[in-house]
Structure 1
Amino acid sequence: HAKGISFFTYRLLDEVLDAYFFVLDKLEEKIDLIEDHVIEKPDKISVRNIFSVKKTLIYFHKALTANREVISSIEKEYVADIDKKNIKRFRALYNDVTQLIDTEGTYRDILTGTLDVYLSSVSNNLNKVMKTLTIGASFILIPTLIASIYGMNFANNSQFNMPELYWQYGYFFALGVMVLSITITYIFFKKKGWL
């Protein structure tokens, strides 16, 4: 009678663990899709999916740890009531649940790595945007400075007056200086490898 109960308990736990294996296989497929999505096109949906699967894995971990404790307790406390064949089966179950816990931990580590890839990608994209804005601002900065200097009001009779203000080609001279400044900035950025 006790042997029948131990076999029934073994079969019940075996079915539960088989269901866990099935669910973990499905989660692995979902993790693979999340990884591919993060690499191809990282977005906020990826982060939500990562946290959703991670939360599921945490619940899984709790359930698997509880199952491992149940199997361990059965093995230790009822060893006299269980025949040797079923003891081996319970040990196999214990190994299965340990494997599931290890797999679940691996999946959580993969998701953590995927989240790191996402954050790195977002950071790189932000750096590209900042670099583009900085380069654009640099091209505009020097000509703006030149235009602001020439845009100041000077007295005609001042000894510090810029002679090109009243020169017939003064306007073209100022434009030429602006174009030259943009060209020099462009060459500088090109040599630095920033463009």
Structure 2
Amino acid sequence: MKIRHVMKGIFTVIENVELTTTAPEEGFYWIDADVEDLEVLQPLFSLHDLAVEDCMTEEEQRPKIETYDNHYFIVVNSIRYDDEEIFLRALSMFLGRHYIITVTKQKINELRAIKPILWEQEVSEPDRFLYYLTDLVVDNYFTVGDRIEVKIENLEEDILMHTKRSHLNEIIGLRSEILWLKKVLGPQKEVINILNKKDLRLIDDQLQKYFSDIYENAVKISENFDTFRELVGNLREAYQAAIANRANEIMRVFTAITTIFIPLTLITGIYGMNFDHMPELHGQYSYYIVLGVMLALGAGMFYLFRKRDWI
């Protein structure tokens, strides 16, 4: 657990946790805590039992906001895209009049990225900290969305150029991840909408209006993932069409080969009959003549098929 006093974006580390129970003359306290630290923080800040229980027991929390007498409990999901896989990590926040507590089970990049923003904006209020942190979390979805779009484009090009059976597994996996994200984006969008519209006494009225920009971005992200879902559907159609075309190409080649060998088989079949009196049966050059005719016939048919682009 790290306790910092934040004043005009400048951080001062505090060693004694009990100092945070009293409001500072200026600025606010930012407590970056682990789940285990809530056992100490709950009695100090009178954190609600249900909110603490959610942090300690829920592996994957649904984005939400709950208002209590002296603090708000807010959950948003940070997104990461590592090794072609999408990960969501819950960021739980307790917002009070003079403090904000961030609780995570894994490392979240936005908590590191927020520091220079606080310094640049000279932040001295916990609600402004909440605003900038939420803005970072939502903006990161655009970054992940851009990477997903690039992956879809590369996959589409690869399917058209070199169709493989493994592409189907990639398409199904990508579609499942996008649908899963869509389910998360709905509640998260509603949380930001509440921060924008609901009368919340711990958030300044002027600042609350700025949450509308974050809400618009959340709506855009949701629309982008709707588009991604449609593009993945198109990928599956393209894959099926490419597989069908390749099957048709293979069948066309086999058909052409079979067609070429039909007259050759006819000739060998005729000369394989057991009759004593057949034309040119005992000729000195009959064998070579028949082979030449067969070779010329096969080459001629192959040339004709190639000229008409049948093979």
TM-score by length of 2: 0.50
Post-superposition Cα deviations, 1:14-58, rounded to whole Å, max 9, x if no partner, equal 343233233323323433443343344332333322222222111
Aligned match for 1:70, one of 174, 191, 197: 191
- CA RMSD in angstroms, aligned pairs only: 3.2
Stretch deviating more after TM superposition (108-117 or 50-59): 108-117
Matched, 1:151 2:267: no
1:9 to partner: Cα distance: 5.7
Matched with 1:57 is: 178
Matched with 1:103 is: 224
Matched with 2:166 is: 45
Matched, 1:186 2:302: yes
Matched with 2:39 is: none
Structure 2 alignment gaps of length 5 or more: 1-69, 72-95, 98-125
SS at match of 2:210: helix
Identity %, equivalent residues? 30
Higher relative contact order (CA 8 A, sep 6+): 1
Post-superposition Cα deviations, 1:146-169, rounded to whole Å, max 9, x if no partner, equal 101211222x4xxxx533334454
Post-superposition Cα deviations, 1:94-119, rounded to whole Å, max 9, x if no partner, equal 21111001111222222233333333
Post-superposition Cα deviations, 1:54-102, rounded to whole Å, max 9, x if no partner, equal 22111111111111233345555x2475654244223222211110011
1:187 to partner: Cα distance: 4.8
SS at match of 1:164: coil
Contact 2:149 2:228 in 1 (8 A): yes
Aligned partner letter, 1:153: N
Tell me how far apart the structure 2 counterparts of residues 90 and 42 of structure 1 sit (CA, whole Å): 45
Counterparts of 1:2-151 in structure 2, within 5 Å, are 10-11=131-132, 13-75=134-196, 78-79=198-199, 81=201, 84-151=205-272
Tell me how far apart the structure 2 counterparts of residues 83 and 100 of structure 1 sit (CA, whole Å): 26
Contact 2:159 2:167 in 1 (8 A): yes
Aligned match for 2:280, one of 164, 183, 188: 164
When you count helix as a share of all residues, which structure comes out higher?
1
Tell me how far apart the structure 2 counterparts of residues 141 and 53 of structure 1 sit (CA, whole Å): 48
Tell me how far apart the structure 1 counterparts of residues 166 and 143 of structure 2 sit (CA, whole Å): 25
1:145 to partner: Cα distance: 1.5
SS at match of 1:165: coil
1:7 to partner: Cα distance: 5.5
Tell me how far apart the structure 2 counterparts of residues 186 and 25 of structure 1 sit (CA, whole Å): 49
Structure 1 alignment gaps of length 5 or more: none
Q: Indicate how the Cα distance of structure 1 residues 177 and 33 shifts in structure 2: closer, same or farther if over 3 A, else same.
A: closer
Q: Indicate how the Cα distance of structure 1 residues 41 and 189 shifts in structure 2: closer, same or farther if over 3 A, else same.
A: closer
TM-score by length of 1: 0.74
Aligned residues: 189
1:191 to partner: Cα distance: 4.8
Tell me how far apart the structure 2 counterparts of residues 164 and 142 of structure 1 sit (CA, whole Å): 19
Aligned partner letter, 1:163: P
Matched with 2:16 is: none
Stretch deviating more after TM superposition (95-104 or 1-10): 1-10
